[in-house]
Amino acid sequence: MSDVIKLLPDHVANQIAAGEVVQRPASVVKELLENSIDAGATQIQLVVRDAGKTLVQVIDNGNGMSSTDLRMSFERHATSKISSADDLFNLHTKGFRGEALASVAAVAQVSVKSKREEDDLGSELEIEGSKVLRQEPVVTSKGTMVSVRNLFYNIPARRKFLKSDQVELRNITDEFHRVAMVHPDVSMSFTHNDTPLFTLQPGNHRQRIVAIMGAKTNEKLVPVEEETELMNIKGFIGKPEFARKTRGLQYFFVNGRFIKHNYLHHAVSSAFEGLLKDKANPSYFLYFEVPPDTVDINIHPTKTEVKFDDEHSLYAILRATVKHALGQFSVNSIDFNQEQQYDVPYDLAKRGIAAVPKIEVDPDFNPFQETSPKPGSGSRAKNFSSTNPQPWEALYTDLEPDTSRLTDETDRDGRTGELFDQQEGEQRHIFQLQRKFIISALQSGLLVINQQRAHERILYEKLLRQLTVQNGVSQQLLFPIKLNLPQEEVEILKHLQADLEHTGFLFKSLEHNVVEMEGLPLELKEKDVPQVIDAIVSNEQQQLPEQRYSSVDSLAQSIASGMSIKTGEQLSGEAMHHMVDELFACKEPTLTAAGKKIFIKLSGDQLNSKFD
């Protein structure tokens, strides 16, 4: 039998290795932007076409490369960032593996122009599938321009599994934000299909965050700052009242590098304990500085997962720091300059004092006298006689339980249950329990309905009809509603605009960080608009691969979830009757669109068993 183990050809090995670094267009954007930062660039331009599938181009004014360095930069494991294994524990740059450009060149058509300041001419290099096509001198400005075209052109299977342009563009935007927020001193721009999405001027961290997330973000930020021997923390947390269900605005940066860390996230969440609404997530933009030898960033190819030497201490420091910042915010929200007086309503203040109160004293009252004073012996005895109750005492006389009627009724024929029997022709008994459940009497027992899930099912089927038939009815607003949202969320709403208008939404404008609406679906209240929009965006952002719903079905679910009556809302008897009737008129009244149970039945036998 012949030997079966063989060495793979170089181009196959390169394509396999590239899969660890280059997973999608956003991976290319991350590596190229980080290279520009490491090169000392103060101006960076990102140009993308077709969500990076056709073109990803990064232009910077950094140090540039010589012709030899340019050729060497595409060799695997060739880098200027480290020279020995010890350097891995003292990293001060973004890239250090020497795999980024080599991996990109293995799965795309790449051209690079670069020039150093001291050189008269720059150099241009073209590589396709790891093969160098040409390299020649070229006239270009100081810095580097990298153009990556037709990603995965030589691996059709990988290209086929890329997501839609909208999803891939959102991932690219996320990577752009992560680099931009940690380097506010660098001027950065982002253009997609010749449309400028971001133009960021140099500034401080707060200005950069506001420039990316929208002007309204400024009022939502609480500064955080702490210096210890183990770590220095700076940044901002979002005020609790602005917490949202989405987890998009959560950023950790360690030594200028974006990371994901569930343990530290839990530290922040626990600091917000008791301050957030149900299922709301805190927002934070936190920058950590730790000694390079106390953190290992070489445990994952994307370098977004790190390992700290003393995670428990960092957890405690972070939690205490966030709690302290929240405490200072709460104190600062109190106005100590306000005059120390009661705020009297204006109408009451105008009335003045109607009459001066009179003080009556009983001169014959003896506190040491054990027996009650004789009737008529003084004004106090006259006014507080037990035989003549005062008017306020009469308010409580009717609250005494009248047990005689109950006893007579329950004892007669020994049939207590007849008090609650529903007579034919009468309206069915229905009431609300804990402002969460609707309880309705049945001939055989009780029907317990979850009011939020029931309303969600009713709205879901109604919205699904509107999205399919396109006959949504809108209520016009006297004054348009304006919402300030991050740019990527506005882009999501643009993508869904046509479907949303079928449900009754009318948009006046969708530009930059502002969404302006002049019409809403009939069932939607103005105060619930931010929550509904948040639910729509959150559902669209998640877009899980295993999701079994169509886009229309998914949109109907998210809108219905945001518009539905929530636990804690009190309903009138008429509203409860109407909801029950509408629920059982649905095609599927037993389950929500997500498959959750809407109601249960309790039979008489089940109730009787509780008293055994």
What is the percentage of the chain residues whose pLDDT exceeds 90? Answer: 25
Q: Specify which of 13-22, 69-78, 476-485 reaches the highest per-range mean pLDDT.
A: 476-485
DSSP H helical segments within 413-550, as ranges?
Answer: 451-469, 487-503, 529-542
CA distance 89 to 95: 13
Using one digit for the tens of pLDDT, what is the confidence trace for 184-211? Answer: 999 999 999 998 888 999 999 999 999 8
Query: At 260, is the pLDDT very low, low, confident or very high (cuts 50, 70, 90)?
Result: confident
Query: At 385, is the pLDDT very low, low, confident or very high (cuts 50, 70, 90)?
Result: very low
Using one digit for the tens of pLDDT, what is the confidence trace for 160-188? Answer: 888 888 889 888 999 999 999 999 999 99
Residues of each domain in the chain carrying CATH 3.30.230.10: 206-332
Using one digit for the tens of pLDDT, what is the confidence trace for 46-105? Answer: 999 999 999 999 999 999 998 888 888 888 766 665 555 554 555 556 655 557 788 888
Query: At 399, is the pLDDT very low, low, confident or very high (cuts 50, 70, 90)?
Result: very low
Q: Comparing 118-127, 157-166, 261-270, 317-326, which segment has the lowest mean pLDDT?
A: 157-166
Q: Comparing 394-403, 439-448, 467-476, 507-516, which segment has the lowest mean pLDDT?
A: 394-403
Tell me, what's the pLDDT at 485? 81
Answer whether residue 150 shows pLDDT above 90: yes
Asked whether 475 and 522 are in contact (CB, 8 A), the reply is yes
Query: At 522, is the pLDDT very low, low, confident or very high (cuts 50, 70, 90)?
Result: confident
Q: Comparing 19-23, 151-155, 342-346, which segment has the lowest mean pLDDT?
A: 342-346
Tell me, what's the pLDDT at 299? 65
Find the mean pLDDT for residues 319-343: 68
CA distance 574 to 552: 32
Find the mean pLDDT for residues 281-297: 88
Answer whether residue 370 shows pLDDT above 80: no
Residues of each domain in the chain carrying CATH 3.30.565.10: 10-84+92-200
CATH of domain 206-332: 3.30.230.10
Tell me, what's the pLDDT at 167? 84
Tell me, what's the pLDDT at 408? 44
Higher pLDDT, 550 or 21: 21
Using one digit for the tens of pLDDT, what is the confidence trace for 535-571? Answer: 788 777 765 444 445 667 777 887 888 788 888 888 8
Find the mean pLDDT for residues 579-599: 88
Q: Is 150 helix (H, G, I), strand (E, B) or coil?
A: coil
Answer whether residue 285 shows pLDDT above 90: yes
Q: Comparing 92-106, 140-154, 296-310, 445-459, which segment has the lowest mean pLDDT?
A: 92-106
With residue 46 as reference, give the H or E element that holds it: strand 43-49
Asked whether 523 and 459 are in contact (CB, 8 A), the reply is yes
Shortest CA distance to 100 belongs to which of 58, 142, 60, 66? Answer: 58
Answer whether residue 328 shows pLDDT above 60: yes
Shortest CA distance to 265 belongs to which of 341, 319, 204? Answer: 319
Between strands 437-441 and 430-433, the pairing is: antiparallel
Tell me, what's the pLDDT at 88? 52
Q: Comparing 128-142, 393-407, 486-500, which segment has the lowest mean pLDDT?
A: 393-407
Find the mean pLDDT for residues 25-35: 91
As given in the structure block, the two tokens for residue 220 are 């939502």
Tell me, what's the pLDDT at 555? 77
Answer whether residue 39 shows pLDDT above 60: yes
Tell me, what's the pLDDT at 351? 59
With residue 33 as reference, give the H or E element that holds it: helix 25-38
Residue 507 to residues 188, 209, 335, 466: CA-CA distances in angstroms?
30, 26, 39, 17
Find the mean pLDDT for residues 456-468: 83
Other C-beta atoms closer than 10 Å to the C-beta of 5 total 4
Asked whether 603 and 445 are in contact (CB, 8 A), the reply is yes
Asked whether 198 and 208 are in contact (CB, 8 A), the reply is no
Residues of each domain in the chain carrying CATH 3.30.1370.100: 449-542+549-600
Mean predicted lDDT score pLDDT of the chain: 79
Tell me, what's the pLDDT at 310? 87
449-542+549-600 is classed in which CATH architecture? Answer: 2-Layer Sandwich (3.30)
Which regions of 92-181 does DSSP assign to beta strands (E)? Answer: 109-115, 122-128, 131-138, 143-149
Fold of 10-84+92-200: Heat Shock Protein 90 (3.30.565)
User: Reading across the β-sheet that carries 109-115, which strands appear in turn?
Assistant: 131-138, 122-128, 109-115, 143-149, 55-60, 43-49, 187-192, 195-200
Contacts of 472 (CB under 8 A, 6+ apart): 466, 501, 502, 503, 504, 521
pTM value is 0.67
